[in-house]
Structure 1
Amino acid sequence: MFTKRQYQILAVLSGTDSWISSLALSEAIGIGKRTIQTEIRKINEEICRRKLPADVRIRSNNRKGYFLADPAGVLREILYRETQMDNSEDDKLVHSRRILALLLFEKDYIHIGDIANRLYFSKSTVNSDLVQIKRIINRTKGAELEVSMSKGIRLVASEDMKRFMCMKARLEDRRLLMEQEELKWAFRKIEVIGKRVGEIFVRNQYIVSGDVCLDFVKFLVIGVARSRMGFVASMPECIMEISEIAEEIEVVIREEMDYELTEAELQYTEGRIRELNLLQKALNVEKSVNDGIGRFERMVLEEIGLDLQLEERWKTAAGNHMERMILRLESGRTNLGNYTKELSLSYPLELHLLRVCLCAAFDLDIPDAELGYMIPYLAEVIGRRREKPQILLVSDSSASVIFHLISRIKNGLGDRIGEICTVPRYVYERKREEYWKPNQLCLTTEHDQLLAETGFFYINPFAEQNLIRELSKKAEEACRDREKEREKVLQGCCMVENKVYLLDTKEESPESLLELCGVSLKDKSFSMQSIDNNVLCIISHNKSGENCLKKIPLKHTLPYKGKQINVVIYVHYGGEGDVIEFFDFVKKRLARI
């Protein structure tokens, strides 16, 4: 079998019919070039072991990169079949999901020993996984894990919540079906019901993402399976008017699964439909949500001085998401959390602003999973605010030629560059100090300028595409040079990683850590996020004028949301310098933890 990483490499290579560079492939997968080389060698060895046709392999070229040769599509077909099968062996949460799945289909208490026997786990494994299970259950509104010394454990929640949690437990994993025939039968219906539900969504112009549509279909078939197994759905407190979409889905369930949805189940279905995030957004957003977004934008400007300049397009997209998120929060059916650690490491500023400003603007306690889905929206805005390399174009060409050239540059480089300043050569010679800036990209259409001064890159007024590609590389180099220079400055100003604070008392708590960092609990301008099983990141901001970044190792572990923390990273932005540059620097330091 190919590993998960090898599947990713093969998927990227099979998605193009041309060569892909080693750098592009490594960036797409998120691993180094040497690791790419090692994995590709192993992939080719696996292809040979399987005795696939001789012309099926990954070809490599020092100059071009890598190319997947699969002329008859033999390997693509194998990969498709295998990805449909269970491929979650390396999932660290698989034990917890299997135990949770078992609890979801138990009507009464069950002893730890019985769980271990039925799942072929040891008792110690079950006991150690209970911490993770409690964390999963506690994230669901109204759900609780009851523990009794004499009876064992049981999951207490409404039937609506249990059906939703079944989707979280990923019951489609074949090992989680636990020989339940009703579940096996139901999951065999996913493909046909998924197609018909997709047709209903398209016909009603209710377009959701592919993964959301699949989760919704799983929710439907799991509900039918549970009903057939004797788990009765009860009517929700708030009765909704049933939409045409829900009525059409009711017909699909009747025809494909020979089951008539009860009134309560129809209400469950309607509730889920209203909570789904749309890809094609509604044109209008509720006034209360629009007002909340406005408060969020003002708070970010007041708190850290960052002017987001939110566009109407962004407000509509994010506003639609917020509307449905609020519905999910009210019902307790919040989204699943994906890539929490990766998001915490890659977007510390975005996550901090969402915790501190968005939650306050809407007066909501938004769980991590839902905040994770808001991060890409905010990251797009902050990405546009990030400083980009400026371009100086020294040219004696006509205005029309310069206009054409600038258009070509902008089309080729897009949002990777900032402003383009164009001056004739005679003006530049007389005002060089005004126009020359460090780390900008200097271009010229004049050969004489190349001879007169180093640091300029020649560009033909009617530049071909290959020259634009070279210019793109120059722009990336300018970005890297600027980042390195800024990192040196920030390293000297705020990095005190080597001056660590070793806490050795057993009475440590999040509150004591905040006091150590000079943060008051009354001050709402701080956020806390675990970025690993043993690392806690605390971020705060004010207008003190000083930034800092501290690493605080703990002699005794500190319990925090089910994790044992032994290292604390404290980040503080006091208004010194550009906030985005500072957090870009923080992001790099966090990646080394």
Structure 2
Amino acid sequence: MYVSARDRKLLERLLADDREMTVGELAEELNVSARTIHRDLQGLESVLRRYGLELVKKAGVGIRLVGEKKQKQTLAAELLHLSHREYTPEERQLMILIALLEADEPVKLVSLANDLNVTVATVSLDLDKLEQTVEAYGLSLIRKRGYGVELTGSESAKRRLIGELLFRHVDEHEFLALMKETIQRRSDDPLDTVAEKLLGLVDRKKLAVIEQQIEQVKETFPFTMADSSYIAFVVHLALAIERIKRGEAIHFDPRDLQALQATREYEIAEALAESLERAFGIDIPKEEIGYMTMHLMGAKWRSRQGMVMEEPSLAVGMKAQQLIRFVSRELGVDLSTDRTLYEDLVVHLKPALYRLEHGMGVANPLLDQIKQDYAELFAIVADGTKQLFGDVSVPEEEIGYLVLHFAAALMREKKGWRALVICSSGLGTAKILATRLKKEIPDIVSLEQASVFEWKEKDASAYDLVVSTVPLADEAGSYFTVSPMLTEEEARAIREFLERKSAAEKRMRKESTAQRNRPALEAMKAVRRISETIIHLLDGFSLEVVKGRSVHELLADACRRLERSGVIVDADVVIEELRRRESLGGLGIPGTTLALYHARSFAVLRPSLTMYRLDAPQTVPGMDGEPMEINTVVLLLGPSDADKEMLAVLSEVSSLLVKDEQSLAVLAHGGEEEVYSLVSAHLEQFFDHYWTSTKE
């Protein structure tokens, strides 16, 4: 079968959406006239008949591709593997860029022209358009007569360009499918599609080996990495190994590298590098380990437990609270008590801000749809980020993701069905679909998200509804396959399905699944661990006024006093850990007069919260790197083997330090009884929320 590049794009668009689309929509997307679309559609009818498909046209409504799902999949597969004798201008420019990234020496224009079946003049025009693209990454095109064309710039910039090209032009599900397919394919098979060409930049035989090495160190990861970040990390490592072998070196500022070497992520990257060195017989320099560390620090994570206790997260937590208060004021809806919203924002913002500060960027393929569906909320969040993150420019792609968190929070209080959303990443697409589901079906009250890698661990019977953006294996049971933006037809089918479920059946299932998913004994043990941690903190709480001592002196005295009272077994070990944490960055909380010194150590036997009021202000580095004056030191300690319940309580104490102006005023100036009342009330509220959630 042969179809032109434009016809192929038109077919792919019709196959991608079950809803009616107008000729005007198609013309705008393909950047041609409506008359051209009409002419192309007539020419495609014979192609569609061969696959048992037809175009149904409704006056005033639009055009829709109709036929059996299996036949649509067959046509889609044929288009994917079609030998491209003709490319669209965008695809052609991308192919040229890939060729330049692969090349070790200048490439002749005539060679590019022959490969793409176009003239040298066309290639020259394509290069004119590509110059602006590569300049945005700090790269340049060197073009000389008789020399050819060469892509020049730093190795890190080239890798960033490769990574972004992959994730911009290959969605996560397609990426996973192509990855599996290309691993099985012979290395000398031709790569015809743009997606396959992009994947050709990565040695597909190395991917499985890299994943094995990651599995060996995965348990040391602080949290579960989202699949989108996991895929990006695997691709980065494959690119790094490929280019290390070619002698392409990463250059790193020694000061930046030294700062990275003090982080937990560097320890993980170093262990992984040793494993990769053995597997591939190469030497990985420290600069490459630093680059791996940056990817880990910029990765998206799933778990929230304990994240707020880390000092960078506490600084982010303050920004999250400020953003929540800003949006609440603008909407006239109080979201400040939504614990899930706060924790989700901290988890999202911490790596997001790191990515932005280091120019790593993020893609958001459904940004236009988010802006259309949540226009008012998008404008409010954009205004909030501009006011609160003035030193960091937040792009619309990141704002789009933040909007989804707030949209989900606005729907959180509604009662009804339990649903599970599955997509290839378990994050971005799932979050969008979850938000659309709640918008279309307001009776959904509980909505979990999982990735394709995780769904086998889920008990489908625990949910009233399971929807997926990707096909699942046969043993997945009953579920709906839908598009990420959830068409009206898909929403209607889901509503009809839910309407057929009787209220009695739903109640019975909720009771039985509650027994399966939250065994009474385990739930009670978790509640006990929560309450024990709270009791330890409140029983040991004190606020002491300190006179004539520096911050380091009072911390040393405090640790020795806690050693005498049996809270810790070795004061010197804890003191050293506190100093180590301080060396990683400031501990003063910007916008307050508080500093949080905290540590988890084997020398700490039980959790402890104590506070120290200084008789005179002292200057310490803030978490934003700026010097600041403090009058109060908060000392928060926990055992190194703290379970998730204890970490949740410690994180809750940390979140109090950035909660609101009223709480900050009490912490900074209140007496011991007043501060104790504030802390105990805050932890009581947390316990009530936890206890209620165990009974749902």
The structure richer in helix per residue is 2
Please tell me the TM-score bracket, short chain as reference.
0.3 to 0.5
TM-score scaled by length of structure 2: 0.42
TM-score normalised per structure 1: 0.48
